[in-house]
Amino acid sequence: MFKAEFELEAITPIFMRGVNQSRAEIRSSSIKGLMRWWFRALAGNYFGNDVVNLRKAEESIFGSTGQRSRVVVEVSKVESNIAWNERNEYERYFWFSQVGRYSKPAIHPNSRIRLVIKSYDKRLLKISLISLWMTIHLGGFGSRSRKFGGSIFPVKEPETNFEIDINFLPSNIGNLKEYYVKTLSMLIDMTKEILQRLGFKEGKKIIGIPSYPIFSNGTVNVFIGIPVDKFSEAIRQIGEWYLGEIRGRKFEGGFRFKYADRKIVQRIYQKYKQGLTNISNIAAHNERRPYLGLPIQFYKKFNNEFVRFTVDHWYADRRASSLIMTVNKCDGKYYPVITVFRYTFLPKYTGPVRYSGGVFRNRSKLADARGALFILKKGENPDEEYHKFYNELIKELRNSFEEVFS
């Protein structure tokens, strides 16, 4: 059997749990699930719109309900019942559902994890290791994994009983850009080559924007930040660009809130004060945050009453963020990485999104608020506005960070 053994270090807290919600634990099934996701993103280069063969390739490697996995993922037992106390306002924001008043147990930074990947087929093991590289370098593990949660990085190169032709660690902190430029392109080529050798037919190249996340030139941009001494400083780098600075109880000045309509809550409350008990269809023409992921939770208190509502969409309660943020480590230094995917915002999206909630006093609902949230003005093209937002996002990232893939 071919195998690769890894010694990994938790860089940021890992919010991962099993059946026992009172204890954090590293789960091999969760690791394999993330490897599958990154495999689909990479294999999309090869299969394009042929999602049927993409799914067959995934199942032939990682298994399905009717097919046993041909790749085995084993992980050492690492558990914790200790919550993570956030160190700054950025951690509090990015990990809001896991810290503070929602505090949940976490595997803490500096914890060591032993991971073994095995297979009887060298090609399948190699393509699974490519997926693991992507997961480790560009993603995270557990809850809040797209917002720095569960950043894990190798302590050293893996021990293997065959040649894998992949360096999991940059050789030094000074060549980070060169390392990512070279490695990312190489992994795309290696994935295509292995899929071809496995007998899968290459699909037609996608023209325009894909319907699902694909890691390819033209659909993904990857950026790295400046190496710093602490992981919290790496998070702050991105936080200052993305959120801005905390002023009072709100962030101001960051990219995210340039595209926020913070008066939506007040408009709902004003309609309630005017006597409406069913509040529907709200204009929010300056709001673009749904493009960065759904759902979005809104809450604001007005004396002894409050407004609370959720924004999602009729065809999708959830739309994962196009931005994936993580922290990596080299030569004792920490550096942030941002990956941005361009793909269809939502199927059948025509302009509005959905909101639902109401006005409350204690546990009593005083007014129902639900309907369409119109984030576009009449006559604006949904696709054009989404691309305009995306292009502005990439422009600002290029002004602030080092681009290593596009």
Could you give the CA distance from residue 376 to residue 382 in angstroms, rounded to a whole number? 8
Count Cβ atoms within 10 A of the Cβ of residue 56 and give its class: 0-12 exposed, 13-18 middle, 19 or more buried: middle
Is 239 within a domain? yes
10-residue averages of pLDDT along the chain (406 residues): 97 92 92 97 94 94 89 96 94 94 93 98 97 98 97 97 95 95 97 96 89 95 98 98 92 95 95 96 93 95 96 92 97 97 92 96 95 94 94 97 98
DSSP designation for 49: T
Beta-strand ranges (E) seen in 11-109 are 24-25, 72-75, 79-80
Is 80 within a domain? yes
Q: Which of 216, 247, 270 finishes a domain?
A: 216
Decide: 135 and 87 in contact? Cβ < 8 Å.
no
Residue 149 has which token pair? Answer: 């949660």
Residues 313 and 355 in one domain: yes
Residues 236 and 92 in one domain: no
Is 221 within a domain? no
Could you give the CA distance from residue 290 to residue 298 in angstroms, rounded to a whole number? 12
DSSP designation for 19: S
305, 194, 238, 281: which is closest to 12 by C-alpha?
238
Residues 49 and 86 in one domain: yes
Contacts of 363 (CB under 8 A, 6+ apart): none
Q: CB neighbours (10 Å) of residue 383?
A: 12
What integer pLDDT is reported at residue 295 of this predicted model? 95
**What are the contacts of 85-90 at 24+ separation with CB within 8 A?**
87/232, 88/232, 88/235, 88/236, 89/239, 89/246, 89/251, 90/232, 90/235, 90/236, 90/238, 90/239, 90/243
Cα distances from 405 to residues 79, 114, 134, 189, 355, in angstroms, run: 36, 30, 13, 14, 36
Residue 309 has which token pair? Answer: 């509502």
DSSP designation for 147: B
Residues 11 and 133 in one domain: yes
Residue 209's domain comprises 2-216
Spell out the alpha helix ranges (H) of 139-175: none
Is 189 within a domain? yes
Could you give the CA distance from residue 82 to residue 100 in angstroms, rounded to a whole number? 13
Is 225 within a domain? no
Residues 200 and 244 in one domain: no
Q: Which of 182, 216, 250 finishes a domain?
A: 216
As for how many domains the chain has, the answer is 2
Q: Which residue has the tokens 């998070």?
A: 235
Residues 194 and 245 in one domain: no
Decide: 328 and 302 in contact? Cβ < 8 Å.
no
Residue 344 has which token pair? Answer: 């269809």
Residue 367 has which token pair? Answer: 């007014």
Residues 291 and 329 in one domain: yes
Residues 325 and 298 in one domain: yes
Peptide bond into 295 cis (omega under 30): yes
Residues 68 and 187 in one domain: yes
Q: CB neighbours (10 Å) of residue 207?
A: 8
Could you give the CA distance from residue 405 to residue 223 in angstroms, rounded to a whole number? 7
Cα distances from 42 to residues 38, 48, 185, 191, 216, in angstroms, run: 6, 10, 11, 7, 7
Residues 197 and 255 in one domain: no
Residues 58 and 122 in one domain: yes
Is 224 within a domain? no
Q: In terms of pTM, does the model score above 0.85? A: yes
Is 223 within a domain? no
Q: Which of 185, 216, 247 finishes a domain?
A: 216
Decide: 379 and 368 in contact? Cβ < 8 Å.
no
Cα distances from 353 to residues 42, 311, 314, 392, in angstroms, run: 30, 7, 7, 21
The secondary structure of 344-381 as a DSSP string is -SSTT--SEEEEEEEEEETTEEEEEEEEEEE-S-TT--
Is 222 within a domain? no
Residues 115 and 185 in one domain: yes
